[in-house]
């Protein structure tokens, strides 16, 4: 059986609409570039759907594994405590499972964006635009 992978793209959320729009656009770009994956978006606070609701929206998609992927630059309380709690992850492995369509589906938790040459290049691009 080949795996069908789901991406749960997780944003912080905001009372302002731009945050949700930006995270949703990133998820849409992933979908456009990788249509073989099922991509959903969830938020920690201030925006809908919340992480747990977004996780459950994989019901009916046939995914066999889900990567919960935060769109955060670095770790903080949301990444180390809140999101793992929402997803009921094992603190030792940062993995868990959810029941979807009567089957156990494994959840793996990706790291935040961190420092990466692509991010540095993007920052340089934004500086050039501002100048």
Which contiguous run of DSSP H or E holds residue 128? Answer: helix 117-130
Which residue from 19, 18, 7 is spatially nearest to 44, judged by alpha carbons? 19
C-alpha torsion sign, points 43, 26, 115, 65: positive
Is 12 noted as a catalytic residue in this protein?
A: yes
Of 12, 34, 46, 78, which one is the catalytic site residue?
12
55: number of Cβ within 10 Å: 25
What would the two tokens of residue 117 be?
A: 């040459």
Active-site residue list: 12
């Amino acid at each position: 059986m080949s795996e069908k992978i789901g991406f749960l793209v997780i944003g912080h959320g905001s009372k302002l609409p731009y945050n949700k729009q930006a995270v949703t656009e990133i998820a849409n770009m992933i979908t456009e570039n990788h249509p073989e994956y099922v991509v959903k978006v969830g938020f920690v606070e201030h925006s809908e759907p919340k992480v747990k609701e977004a996780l459950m929206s994989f019901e009916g998609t046939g995914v066999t594994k889900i990567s919960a992927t935060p769109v955060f630059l670095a770790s903080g309380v949301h990444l180390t405590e809140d999101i793992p709690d929402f997803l009921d992850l094992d603190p030792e492995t940062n993995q868990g499972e959810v029941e979807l369509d009567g089957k156990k589906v494994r959840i793996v938790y990706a790291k935040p964006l961190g420092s990466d040459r692509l991010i540095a290049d993007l920052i340089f691009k934004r500086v050039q635009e501002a100048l």
